[in-house]
């Protein structure tokens, strides 16, 4: 059986982003993987949940932590369709996630280099390997369509 690639996991996250869009939420999806096992997934839901912290990454991290009964998610990779914001990047560091793979860059709120780079803050005690641009065009198009429809 061939190994599952980063693009395969990102496609799963894209499916979650589409689900968020269908609910009227900004279309972002995220999954937490350890090995080949999905520990948690989430899609944006701050509007429906009346919760400013209900970003896809936070929901995926919470579900993964519940599943393994530990707030530390060592050895995991978080896949997310949009560059994490500063809040989510800080949560990823505190959860001890090993890798983040994201799709589209977020020039207005990105915490992985676009606005700030939380992952390279020298004072923080954990380092996360970050890879951006995986299926960037597909991830970006989902967001562009969503906002174009809202403006129309």
Residue 3 has pLDDT above 70, yes or no: no
Question: Are 56 and 42 contacting, i.e. CB atoms less than 8 angstroms apart?
Answer: yes
Q: Report which of 57, 75, 83, 60 is spatially closest to residue 143, judged by C-alpha positions.
A: 83
Query: How far is it, in rounded angstroms, from Cα 36 to Cα 75?
Result: 11
Q: Report which of 32, 96, 25, 27 is spatially closest to residue 63, judged by C-alpha positions.
A: 32
Q: Report which of 34, 35, 45, 38 is spatially closest to residue 11, judged by C-alpha positions.
A: 38
- Which pLDDT score is estimated for 150? 87
User: pLDDT by residue (tens digit) across 72-125?
Assistant: 999 999 999 999 999 999 999 999 999 999 999 999 999 999 999 999 999 999
Q: Just list the catalytic residues.
A: 57
DSSP characters for the chain? -PPPPHHHHHHHHHHHHHHHHHTTS---EEEEEETTEEEEEEE--HHHHT-TT--HHHHHHHHHHHHHT-S--TT-EEEEEE--BHHHHHHHHHTT-SEEEEEE--TTTBTBTTS-BGGG-TTSS---EEEE-TTHHHHHHHHHHHHHHHH-
- Which pLDDT score is estimated for 152? 84
- 1-4 long-range CB contacts below 8 Å, 24 or more apart? 4/36
At residue 7 the predicted structure's pLDDT band, cuts being 50, 70 and 90, is very high
User: pLDDT by residue (tens digit) across 25-69?
Assistant: 999 999 999 998 999 999 999 999 999 999 999 999 999 999 999
Query: How far is it, in rounded angstroms, from Cα 95 to Cα 99?
Result: 11
Residue 2 has pLDDT above 60, yes or no: no
């Amino acid at each position: 059986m061939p190994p599952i690639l980063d693009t395969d996991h990102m496609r799963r996250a894209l499916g979650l982003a589409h689900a968020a869009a269908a609910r009227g939420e900004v279309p972002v999806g995220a999954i937490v993987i350890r090995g080949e096992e999905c520990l948690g997934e989430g899609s944006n839901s701050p509007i429906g949940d009346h919760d400013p912290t209900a970003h896809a990454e936070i929901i995926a991290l919470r579900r993964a932590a519940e599943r393994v009964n530990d707030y530390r998610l060592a050895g995991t990779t978080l896949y997310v369709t949009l560059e994490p914001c500063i809040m989510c990047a800080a949560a990823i560091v505190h959860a001890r996630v090993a890798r983040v793979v994201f799709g589209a860059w977020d020039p207005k709120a990105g915490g992985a280099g676009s606005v700030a780079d939380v992952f390279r803050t020298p004072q923080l005690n954990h380092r996360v390997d970050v890879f951006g641009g995986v299926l960037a065009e597909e991830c970006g198009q989902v967001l562009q369509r969503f906002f174009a429809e809202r403006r129309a």
